[in-house]
Amino acid sequence: MADRLIPGETIGILGGGQLGRMMAVAAKHMGYRVAVLDPKPDCPCTQVADYHIEAAYDDLEAARNLENISDVITYEFENVDLNVADMLEKAGKLPQGALPLEITQNRQKEKQIAVETGLNVPNYEIVQTFDQVKTAIQSIGYPAILKTITGGYDGKGQVKLNKEEDLAEVESFIAPDSTYIIEAFIDFQKEVSVVFTRSQTGEITYFPVAENTHNNQILHRTQIPAAINDNVAAQAKAAAKLLAEHLQVVGTFTVELFVKDDQVYVNEMAPRPHNSGHYTIEACNVSQFEQHVRAICGLPLLKVQSFPAAVMLNILGKHREELFQNLARIQDFHLHDYGKEEARPERKMGHITIIGTSLDEIFQRMEENQLPTW
Ligand code: ADP
Ligand code: MG
State the average pLDDT over residues 63-75: 98
Pocket lined around ligand 1, Cβ cut-off 6 Å: 122, 145, 152-155, 183, 185-186, 188, 191, 214, 217, 256, 267-268
Mutational pocket test of ligand 1: of 217, 254, 260, the residue with most ligand atoms within 8 Å of the beta carbon? 217
Per-residue model confidence (pLDDT) at position 330: 81
User: Regarding predicted confidence, which is higher, 142 or 328?
Assistant: 142
To 10 degrees, what angle do helices 60-69 and 82-90 make? 40
Q: How far away, in angstroms, is 161 Cα from ligand 1 center?
A: 13
**Residue 336 φ/ψ, nearest 5 degrees:** -125, 125
Over the range 28-56, which residues count as b (16 or more CB within 10 Å of their CB) and which as e?
A: beeebbbbbbbeeeebbbbebbebbbbbe
Over range 174-188, report the average pLDDT: 95
Predicted TM-score (pTM) of this structure: 0.97
Q: What is the average pLDDT value for the chain, to the nearest integer? A: 96
Instruction: With H, G, I as helix, E, B as strand and everything else as coil, classify residue 41.
Output: coil
For residue 278, say whether it is annotated as part of any ligand binding site.
Answer: no
Name the residue with the closest Cα to ligand 1, atom 12: 217
Q: What is the pLDDT of residues 10-22, one digit of tens each?
A: 999 999 999 999 9
Whether 91 has a pLDDT exceeding 60, the answer reads yes
ipTM > 0.90 for the complex:
yes
pLDDT band at residue 227 under the 50/70/90 scheme = very high
What does DSSP say about strands 348-356 and 124-127: parallel, antiparallel, or unpaired? unpaired
Q: How confident is the model at residue 314 (pLDDT cuts 50, 70, 90)?
A: very high
Burial class of residue 344 in the structure, from the number of CB atoms within 10 Å of its CB (0-12 exposed, 13-18 middle, 19+ buried): exposed
Q: Is the pLDDT of residue 84 over 80?
A: yes
Percent of the chain whose pLDDT exceeds 90: 91
- Average pLDDT over every residue of 200-205: 97
Burial group, residue 176, by CB count within 10 angstroms (0-12, 13-18, 19+): exposed
Percent of the chain with pLDDT over 70: 99
The terminus-to-terminus CA distance of the chain in angstroms comes to 47
Which residue's CA lies nearest to atom 17 of ligand 1?
A: 217
pLDDT band at 301 (very low <50, low <70, confident <90, very high): very high
Output the pLDDT for position 1.
44
d(C-alpha 56, C-alpha 256), whole Å: 29
The pLDDT, as a whole number, for residue 2 is: 46
pLDDT in tens, 315-351: 999 999 989 998 888 888 999 999 999 999 999 999 9
200 known member of a binding site? no
